[in-house]
Structure 1
Amino acid sequence: MTEEKARGPSAATVGPDEGAREEGAQPRGKWADNKEFLLSTTGGIIGFGNLWLFPYLCFRHGGVVFLIPYFVLFLFFGAPLLFLEIALGQYTSEGAVTAWRKICPMFEGVGMASQVATFYLSTFFIIILAWNIFYMINSFKSPLPWSTCDNWWNTELCHSRVNMLDNSHLFSSNTNWSFLNNITLPEDFESVQYFNVTDLSQPDSSSEEEFWRHRLLRVSDKLLGEVHWDLALCLLLAWVMCYFCVWKGIKSIGKVVYFTATFPYLLLLILFFRGVTLPGAQQGLYYYLYPNFSRLADSSAWEDAGMCVMYSCATCHGVLTTLGSYNKYNRNCYRDCMVLCCVTCATSIFAGFIVFSVLGFISHTQNVPLEEIVNAGPTLIFISFPLALSMLPGSTFWTVLFFLTVLLLGVDTHFMLVESLATSITDMFPRHLRRPGAREILVLVIAVVCFLLGLTFITEGGIIAFHLVDQYGTSEIIFLFISCLETIIIGWVYGADRFYDNIEDMIGYPPNPVIKYCWMFITPLLSVILLLCRLANRYSLSVYGYNLEPMGATIGAIILVIPLMCIPLFILVALWRNPQNMISSSSDLRQLRPHKPLLTLCKCVILKAQGQPFRTAAERHEKIMMEEPSGV
């Protein structure tokens, strides 16, 4: 047998930046320059979590002390996964599904599971953008509609905190209001509390809460009910923006991210300087940064740090593998990952200063303990911040600026999810979907399907469906299970030593050996521990007073199981296709040292080599010719 036959039919003819192609398929594109990949990945991993999750967890778990479990888990859990997924995409030049098929056909379902979860995310994540667009449109009204109780959606229990602060002398206990109705006041009038902070914190008490619940969500006791068409138009606008960012693939994404990934930092900087100059900002920053070392002994701090790291790195969604697959073969992805880790950590910490300076301002102006107004999630963005911004001079400007920032933080995260789906499907059927015009149609189909499904979330009972998908469809259980399998497959099935050699072949030197042991032991162990902690927690099945048991638990369990079922299903498919070759990697993959054992531990051979021959001199020359200039 000749050397060329032993390598397989395509190894000698396919360059490292092209990858194997089916007959009739067009070649895959590559990023136009180094900056496009970094900006795209930054936009993909920087999102709402940096703004509403990390600052809240810092406050909840001991201030700056929370950085200790956060950085520990970032170093041994988040960063190894981030590097693994980007390097995997760059090495295979394949999307999230076919990359795993090439590495180990038996575990193609791992990639499929991530894409089903990404489909869930693509359908419901954009609803938050639609809400944001709705708020931003209403921000141009004067007065801001959530700052008063004079609107058709307000109830008799409504209290406008902005008006009370502007006219605090009218709400003192000894103020005589009898002239309004020409009535005689009771003798105990002076004991009446007109500004009860505790009551205002309850549902339907504040104008901001009523705008959120009665104007935006319009919650009713119906399971679904009618579609709110004003929100549907906002959802349509969000999908139109997303479509025209993604429709040309990396050609359009690479240009759009120059704006969507950088401009939010300018807006955040403006909000930072405005926030820290507000009255009471110092009090908020004190709560954010005050160290409470006793919290380190609380297991929930470490558990929440792991969840926060996973969201901060956007791992196990297939997005990182997809974006890495468009890199040139010899790009220094190791250096890129270190840059991305620094950026996401710095952004989260910086966002915390903005959030808590504003919350401190609310606490100061309302004389309310800060603990009562600190929230994570949509409540922070759509209730707390609108309240604070409506108190400022020039409130319209600051409100529009804030919601524009949130929109840009979210939109590039979302169109990276759609890009992951489009790339994965295209790579599964390259002969049909790499033709001119096919990608545009594919992205349009994805957008239309997700838009129609998304209408479910903007009905009268849509928040219930939204809660179920949020709790189950994007559950940490799915992503932790995937993270555990990814590291086990690379470390123990494909071979950590072989993957290290692949990375050395790409970047020119081997990465830090600690990462190898993270893939083999530390990261999967942490994934299992975090997974068990999540399984022990019972999900909340109550939304605005509606108990979703038992039907909600049943529907949620089905949503949760669907992506996980892809893993055993594709094991059976691999068994049916080729039972003798279920764990053998594709012959298309380049190997630096094919006769070297795939995995060694303490000088003991754990996995033997597959016996592939060394590369020819022609193939070595081909790599040199494909190399790109150094530098970022």
Structure 2
Amino acid sequence: SLSLSLSVLSLCSLFLSLCLGLASMVIVFFCNTYYIMILVWALYFLLHSFSSPLPWATCGHPWNTPNCTQDFRRACYGRMGIGTGTGDQSTGMRSPVIEFWERKVLRLSSGLDEPGDISFHMVLCLIATWVIVYFCIWKGVKSTGKVVYFTALFPYVVLVVLLAHGITLPGAWDGIVFYLKPDWSKLLEAQVWIDAGTQIFFSYAIGLGALTALGSYNRFHNNCYQDAFVLAFINSGTSFFAGFVVFSVLGFMAAEQGVDISKVAESGPGLAFIAYPKAVTLMPMAPVWAALFFFMLLVLGLDSQFVGVEGLITGIIDMLPPKSALGSVRREVVVAVCCFTCFLIDMSMVTEGGMYVFQLFDYYSASGITLLWQAFWECVVVAWVYGADRFMDDVARMIGYRPLPYMKWCWSYITPLVCVAVFLFHVVNYKRLTYNTAYTYPWWGEALGWCLALSSMLCIPVTVAYKLLRCKGSFRERWQHLTTPVWGRHHMEYLAPESEAKLLPPAGAKSSLHFESVI
């Protein structure tokens, strides 16, 4: 993805500018819309962390039920989808942290067809979060880059502090051993490969277009090849290191409750808003560790949100006709309109049925299916439409040497085949969407989810058909015309070395060049 911007400069307008570009923008728009809810919940927990005892550590609050118990050994920790178990099925006892999450934060209704009332407190958190995002990116990547120095580096400081504290807790080493000791039998399960593949695609922002948008701001001779390896190393290394932090605390939590670690290990929001909040209640100075953890989570989420929104804004601005009234609109206005549009959609996620809406977006709009589909066609365009060898030549002209042949094999064969295999795994193992295994989404809810997925996936075939029908000549002539690389003046100016570029006539067409490089 880092080096994809090179190919976009000369790829045909059919596949990149109109197909892949639009598809990636639809995906990143949906992703920006629902992902910010993680930040909203983190901010809400952070604001409630400045009290002792923590509100989710005890019963007796207005949101608690008579079945609430602080004896967590009597509560059920069975894994049940995006949340955790609702209580002991035999005694009906419920954990206060689960009741705080479901009855105070989410105020969960009985289903998607019961949206219920809007939470005033969550709306305030949502407004605050979007305001922070807006003022961090409204001036462009230069101002955003300064903010990212803090948002990207501060979480590492917190992770080190949490790990230093976590390894001193009783049972921490049992959690670390559980983390490092793999269950090899899981490799035989298709779902494991599906989850791993989609997590890599989502974690690296592959197919979202955000990295391409940010890469378009780099200098021509920037070593994107090296950046790709650095990005992979830092991303995976950070995840691996964070695992020690998480499982040291989960080991302590399991030891305190006298249960197996697998009973307290969760994923997704279940880990961030149920398992870890419960863990900090068992620590001394619980409010300090809770505030530190949720502030780190908020900063991490803001960092990801900046990238996603910046990628969307860059694409929108570059699509605006430069000499029209829309092209003269200030960046601040475009950012405000985009943030406000996402905010309006987010209002459906701060209702009592908001979690069901959030899960629809999470499961369909930017899911593994859509990302795999997008990544497959990106590889096809780069390797087979534009040409892998030509792309290698462009990269060599950019960084001064040719990448390893392995990269060409990845673009041409390995990555497309992996995408197809995991995509088929998804289709074959598709299951109806449920929440907490107890609530199954209605047919119209699933239909709405598939509309979200198809809204990006259909950008490619629909645009192909549309452009083919509008062109003149035979089918072969139309196809050749639409798949012939565009070697315009701006592209030649961009690809030319500095000495050659000086010979070209000046052109104040940054927007045109930038449009080609981003979309």
CA distance in 2, matches of 1:617, 1:209: 61
| Corresponding position of 2:140 | 249
Letter in 1 for 2:12: C
Secondary structure at the counterpart of residue 467 of structure 1 = helix
Secondary structure at the counterpart of residue 318 of structure 2 = helix
Confirm whether residue 497 of structure 1 aligns to residue 389 of structure 2: yes
What does the per-residue CA deviation read over 1:503-539, in whole Å, with 9 as the maximum and x for residues that have no partner? 1111011111110011011110000000000111224
CA distance in 2, matches of 1:151, 1:622: 74
Give the deviation of 1:298 after TM superposition: 4.1
Confirm whether residue 401 of structure 1 aligns to residue 292 of structure 2: yes
CA distance in 1, matches of 2:27, 2:74: 44
Among 211, 230, 237, the alignment partner of 1:320 is 211
Confirm whether residue 454 of structure 1 aligns to residue 346 of structure 2: yes
| Corresponding position of 2:509 | none
Give the deviation of 1:621 after TM superposition: 5.8
The answer to which of 568-577 and 248-257 deviates more is 568-577
Letter in 1 for 2:451: I
What does the per-residue CA deviation read over 1:373-409, in whole Å, with 9 as the maximum and x for residues that have no partner? 1110101010111111111111111100000110111
What does the per-residue CA deviation read over 1:431-478, in whole Å, with 9 as the maximum and x for residues that have no partner? 158967611000000011100110101101111111111111122111
1:525-540 equivalences in 2 (<5 Å):
525-540=417-432
| Corresponding position of 1:587 | 487
| Corresponding position of 2:162 | 271
Confirm whether residue 213 of structure 1 aligns to residue 102 of structure 2: yes
CA distance in 2, matches of 1:617, 1:301: 49
1:294-305 equivalences in 2 (<5 Å):
294-305=185-196
8 A contact 2:77–2:263 mirrored in 1: no
Residues 505 and 160 of structure 1: CA distance in aligned 2, closer, same or farther (over 3 Å): same
CA distance in 2, matches of 1:271, 1:502: 45
| Corresponding position of 2:275 | 384
Give the deviation of 1:619 after TM superposition: 2.0
What does the per-residue CA deviation read over 1:26-54, in whole Å, with 9 as the maximum and x for residues that have no partner? xxxxxxxxxxxxxxxxxxxxxxxxxxxxx
CA distance in 2, matches of 1:199, 1:303: 25
What's the % identity of the aligned pairs?
39
What does the per-residue CA deviation read over 1:527-574, in whole Å, with 9 as the maximum and x for residues that have no partner? 000000011122442225333122222111211111112112222343
CA distance in 2, matches of 1:118, 1:371: 34
The answer to which of 306-315 and 132-141 deviates more is 306-315
Instruction: Select the structure of larger CA radius of gyration.
Output: 1
CA root-mean-square deviation:
2.3
| Corresponding position of 2:331 | 439
Unmatched tracts of structure 2, length 5 or more: 79-83, 88-93, 473-477, 505-519
What does the per-residue CA deviation read over 1:58-77, in whole Å, with 9 as the maximum and x for residues that have no partner? xxxxxxxxxxxxxxxxxxxx
| Corresponding position of 1:140 | 50
Residues 617 and 150 of structure 1: CA distance in aligned 2, closer, same or farther (over 3 Å): closer
Secondary structure at the counterpart of residue 64 of structure 2 = coil
| Corresponding position of 2:416 | 524
| Corresponding position of 1:105 | 13
8 A contact 1:227–1:459 mirrored in 2: yes
8 A contact 2:75–2:95 mirrored in 1: no
Residues 510 and 295 of structure 1: CA distance in aligned 2, closer, same or farther (over 3 Å): same
Report the TM-score, using the length of structure 2 for normalisation.
0.87
8 A contact 1:477–1:534 mirrored in 2: yes
CA distance in 2, matches of 1:406, 1:112: 30
| Corresponding position of 1:626 | none
CA distance in 2, matches of 1:462, 1:289: 36
CA distance in 2, matches of 1:433, 1:410: 35
CA distance in 1, matches of 2:364, 2:108: 21
Alignment coverage as a number of residue pairs: 478
Give the deviation of 1:88 after TM superposition: 2.4
| Corresponding position of 1:465 | 357
What does the per-residue CA deviation read over 1:464-495, in whole Å, with 9 as the maximum and x for residues that have no partner? 11111111112211110111100011000001
1:335-354 equivalences in 2 (<5 Å):
335-354=226-245
Secondary structure at the counterpart of residue 196 of structure 1 = coil
Letter in 2 for 1:87: S
Secondary structure at the counterpart of residue 210 of structure 1 = helix
Letter in 1 for 2:101: W
CA distance in 2, matches of 1:615, 1:438: 31
8 A contact 1:126–1:414 mirrored in 2: yes
1:84-103 equivalences in 2 (<5 Å):
85-89=1-5, 91=6, 99=8, 102-103=10-11
Among 158, 180, 190, the alignment partner of 2:68 is 158
Letter in 2 for 1:583: T
CA distance in 1, matches of 2:496, 2:169: 64
Letter in 2 for 1:112: L
CA distance in 2, matches of 1:253, 1:585: 33
8 A contact 1:541–1:549 mirrored in 2: no
Confirm whether residue 119 of structure 1 aligns to residue 29 of structure 2: yes
| Corresponding position of 1:48 | none
Letter in 2 for 1:574: K
Letter in 1 for 2:375: S
Secondary structure at the counterpart of residue 493 of structure 1 = helix
Secondary structure at the counterpart of residue 86 of structure 1 = coil
Report the TM-score, using the length of structure 1 for normalisation.
0.72
8 A contact 1:114–1:482 mirrored in 2: yes
Unmatched tracts of structure 1, length 5 or more: 1-84, 93-98, 165-194, 593-613, 624-632
CA distance in 2, matches of 1:433, 1:146: 53
| Corresponding position of 1:553 | 446
